Amino acid sequence: MFATTPKFIQALFPSLVWRKETLNKEIWLTFDDGPEPEVTPWILSVLKKENITATFFLVGEQIEEFPELVGAIIKEGHTIANHSYSHKNGWLCTKEKYIADIEKCQELMPNNKLYRPPYGKITKAQITLLKEKYKIILWDVLSWDFQQNTSPERVQGNILKNTKEGSIIVLHNNQKSHKNLFPILEDTIQKLKEKGFSFSATW
């Protein structure tokens, strides 16, 4: 169970953004899924308290259901980005259906240029079609916050042990991950600050 994306996988897909080149100790905190009425406001409150910005990769179906939460994310200065309309697995559908699902979400955020594939699963053919229009953002630090048989302490360890300058950290903005994030999100951000990291949501 890798908490950091192996370099050979990153090398196989060089057109994807796995981490950011930076001269500073900047890192990119990202939240997938949502918006979610019980989780998103809590995440926003933690980020506001810590005075940092993050990137929210949102699902179109959830955007339509909870537009006020999208407004709250934007109002707080965070970046929103495309995580598909219905959270399709790119390995399990045709490229035509996959692209149509992404474009349906894109209609809800027309100025967006960022896309993250659900589950990180995307084919070379899909990448070829998408990379002209979007920066396709993956990650180099996977917290495993969604794993039900893990612990908050393990999630925190995954982040703190593997984050380096330029890292893109993936967390989740959903009920499944909430029990693992709730005890440790604020403390983890503080510990990353103590290591000298600053947080960016600029791509």
Identified catalytic residue from 33, 78, 145, 172: 172
Amino acid at the residue 20: K
For residues 9 and 183, the answer to whether their CB atoms sit within 8 Å is: no
Q: Please report the beta strands in 70-193, taking only residues with DSSP state E, as ranges in sequence order.
A: 79-82, 114-115, 135-136, 141-142, 168-172
By DSSP bridging, strand 55-58 and strand 79-82 are: parallel
The enclosing H or E element of 148 equals none
CB atoms within 10 A of CB 198: 13
CB atoms within 10 A of CB 141: 26
Identified catalytic residue from 32, 101, 140, 145: 32
- Residue-level length of the chain: 203
Residue 35, token pair as written in the block: 């918006």
Residue 182, CB half-sphere, CA atoms under 13 Å: how many? Answer: 10
Question: Omega of the bond prior to 35 within 30 degrees of 0, cis?
Answer: yes
Give yes or no: 33 in active site: no
Give yes or no: 172 in active site: yes
Positions annotated as catalytic residues are 32, 172
